[in-house]
Structure formats: structure tokens, C-alpha cells
Structure 1
């Protein structure tokens, strides 16, 4: 089995000029996939003409976390709290998603990846939860080590997600953007206790995503590993 991971982009202007805008993926994803005998294939920011060929090579797609999503893509102007964005990266991931859907290949998004899925399909994001949701009571950008789970989420009982993780899993949290309006064809299937949307899926769960970071929890949390095992099974089933 092969799973494509959309690459992240280095926007930190390192001293080594060769690393400026370099494409990479986090080691935790390589460890996750290879531990389950799955071949990872990194999909870099490439011209649109090559995207179909990349998706042809894989059985499923994983869209990971990263920098903020450009609000221009959901028809908003940037607010002062917006972090770094890089629209070529956004466009790459949105096009990979659309091609995977066209080829009937499962897609799973994490944090930014889950937000990209929502925007690509017509949804809207909060650019900054702290300033745009006054009723928010949880700290969603946790200061603790990301491998530590810090709050629970309520999962819809009739969802595919509930079959994988139950209705009340404990998750970590490292984000300041979030879903404001769920895209047509998707539904919110998990929320934090303050109402922030934490997971989405389409009708057959071939497209799904979570706001938290299970890639940092799966090695010591069997419930979070089950989230990936469920995705891998959907990929295997085609």
C-alpha cells in the first residue's frame, strides 16, 4: 500500500539558502506509515500538470498540519492575527484533494489538512479562534508537549469517527484557526466542549479530517492509533 503525504513548506528563511521554501514532511508520519508497512510518498509543491500523476501513484492521501490557510481562498481579507501563509502550498493540497476524490481514493486531513479540505470543498474558517470566538473557553493552542492529550471532544454517535475512537476521546490541541462553516457535502462529527468543531467527514467517510494531532499520540494511545487503522482500512478497501 502507498499513501501520499502532501509536503509542508519551510517558510522560516533559514541561513542555508537551499532550505528556503524547501519541501519536507514530519518524521512522525514516516514512522507511522512504515510501522504499519505502508510506503510513504511525499507530494511536493509541483505544477498542476503533475498532480494527477502523483495521485495515480498512491492508494490514499494524507494532508498534514502546517502554516495558516490563506483567507483569500474563502473570500476574506486577512486579519492581524493571521500567521504565515503560502498560497502555492494551499493550492497544491486543494488540487490533490480534488484529484483524489475524482479517482475515488480516500483522504484524511490533520489540523491544517482538515481545514484545507473544508476550504477546498467550499467551507469557511476562523482565521483566529481567540479573537473571533468570544464564547471559546478552552485553550486550543496548548502550551504543553504536543504528545500530551489535554481535552475531550464529543463525537457524533452515528459517525464513522465514533466507530474508530468512540464518542468521548481525549485529544491534544495545537491550532489557532478552525472551521467556521462546514463545506457542502461534509458534516461536523466532533466538537470540543466550547463548541469548536474538531472533526469532519463526508457521507461515506472517504474524505475525513480531525483538528487534533493523532500522529503524536498513536504510539501510546490505542484509540488514536485506531483512527489511523480505520483510515488505512478504507484505503485498502478502495
Structure 2
């Protein structure tokens, strides 16, 4: 049987053009398509009561946290700074509760962009509320107006990992984030870094690397570099193992 992958949905509060000003839960089609392509069965998991995660987690074999808003600095002990963008405490709280529940299992969880950031925060790390607050020089990590299905900067893999196995020492990726990892959680290790030093990929230090993620959007890059599919295939491989354990 195909492993069941829960993709955590985002929420429009007022979707003017699509849903006639009514709230709506959604997941970009890129994520649904790639999970299906690599052999998973995608499910959309809406933002409900955070207490519901205890009932959700047993129903799925793996989890995918997607892109979207910034992560609230309240969750890592900071007050908002002027350049911080939109956040959603509702989404933050639900996803952090989910991460903590999944942590009690052997099931895998993949974080993409915002999902990568909230995973770091849930495990005890911190973020730059905006990358312009870094002391070091920073590349353009929000590539708009460049097409987001095209790459915009390099990331480097200098230690053994699945990313190095797939991409080698250096690969071009896209970039659509204003926040970034400041302090990496103690139980994570960086496995990909942009040329300006921003952490772009990590995996957990446990033997099976239960948690892993990337800062770029591999689901959007498949037309440019099909190897990005392997990031999602890694989730399916781990979910299959977890389901059979």
C-alpha cells in the first residue's frame, strides 16, 4: 500500500478572488502532485484545534510542512521587529503541536521553507525575523520578481547526507523566504548552506533522520531540475519503513 502523507494546509482568512471573501483551507498543487509522483498518497490536513493532533498522527505514515507565512517570534522568546512580515499564531501553534506529537513516534516529517523554519523553532532553535538583520552580507533570498520555478542562487553540501548524494557539492535552487535560521536546534545538523552562510538544509541527529527539510522550494523546481523530486522520495522511503516497523 502507498504510504499516507499528511500535507498541512494553510488558511486564507479572506480569499477575495476565489472564495467570495470566505475563509478557505488550501495546499498548492505542486505538493500534492509531487507526493503522488514519488509513490505517496497525499492527504490535506486542515488547521483545526491543536489538541486534535493526537488523533491525527496515528492516521498517517509521514508528514509534510509547507511554505507560507513567517513564524511568530513569540515562539522563540523575541518581540516583533519592524521588518518582520505576516505571521499566523494559529498555524504556528497547530504545526508545533503536530511536530511534538510526531516526535514521539518513528514517523518522518519533511519541512519546506516555512515548514523548515517552524520545525527548527519547535525543536528549540531560533530565526532571523528578517534576513536583513543578519550581520553577515546576505544574498537576495526573496527572488521575486524572478519566476519561482527557476533557480536564483547556489547551495553547498560539504558533509555526507542524502542531499549530497542527490545533488553533489553544489546545486542551484530557488529562494522565496525573508526569514531564516539563526540558531539551529541542538538535535539538528546543517547539511546544506547557501554561499552567504544561511542554513538551507538540515536533518535530525537521530539514527533514522526522522526530521529533515530544506529552505528552498523543490516542488516548484521539478521542471528545471528533476533531482528535487528525491527530497520528497526520501519522505516516502522513511514513511514506508515507519509503516512496516
Same fold by TM-score, threshold 0.5 exceeded?
Answer: yes
Q: Which residue of 2 aligns with 1:139?
A: 140
Q: Which residue of 2 aligns with 1:24?
A: 26
Secondary structure of 2:170's counterpart equals coil
Secondary structure of 1:140's counterpart equals coil
Name whichever of 94-103 and 10-19 sits farther off.
Answer: 10-19
Return closer, same or farther for 1:35/1:234 CA change in 2, 3 Å cut-off.
Answer: same
Q: Which residue of 2 aligns with 1:228?
A: 232
TM-score by length of 2: 0.90
User: Once the 2 structures are TM-superposed, how far is the Cα of residue 51 of structure 1 from its aligned partner?
Assistant: 0.8
1:111-137 Cα shifts (integer Å, max 9, x gaps): 00000000000000000002x024224
Q: Which residue of 2 aligns with 1:178?
A: 180
User: Once the 2 structures are TM-superposed, how far is the Cα of residue 165 of structure 1 from its aligned partner?
Assistant: 2.7
Q: Which residue of 2 aligns with 1:123?
A: 125
Aligned length: 235
Taking the aligned partners of 1:199 and 1:12, their CA distance within structure 2 comes to 33
Structure with greater contact order relative to length (CA < 8 Å, sep ≥ 6): 2
Secondary structure of 1:236's counterpart equals helix
Which of 70, 79, 97 is equivalent to 1:68? Answer: 70
Return closer, same or farther for 1:11/1:166 CA change in 2, 3 Å cut-off.
Answer: farther
Taking the aligned partners of 1:36 and 1:137, their CA distance within structure 2 comes to 34
When the two chains are superposed, the root-mean-square deviation of aligned CA atoms in Å is 1.6
Taking the aligned partners of 1:49 and 1:11, their CA distance within structure 2 comes to 21
Return closer, same or farther for 1:237/1:164 CA change in 2, 3 Å cut-off.
Answer: farther
Structure 1: gaps (5+ residues): none
Secondary structure of 2:222's counterpart equals coil
TM-score by length of 1: 0.93
1:120-176 Cα shifts (integer Å, max 9, x gaps): 00000000002x024224110002111001111111322232223322121100101
Q: Would you say the 8 A contact 2:142–2:177 is kept in 1?
A: yes
Q: Would you say the 8 A contact 1:165–1:227 is kept in 2?
A: no
User: Once the 2 structures are TM-superposed, how far is the Cα of residue 13 of structure 1 from its aligned partner?
Assistant: 5.8
Taking the aligned partners of 1:117 and 1:188, their CA distance within structure 2 comes to 13
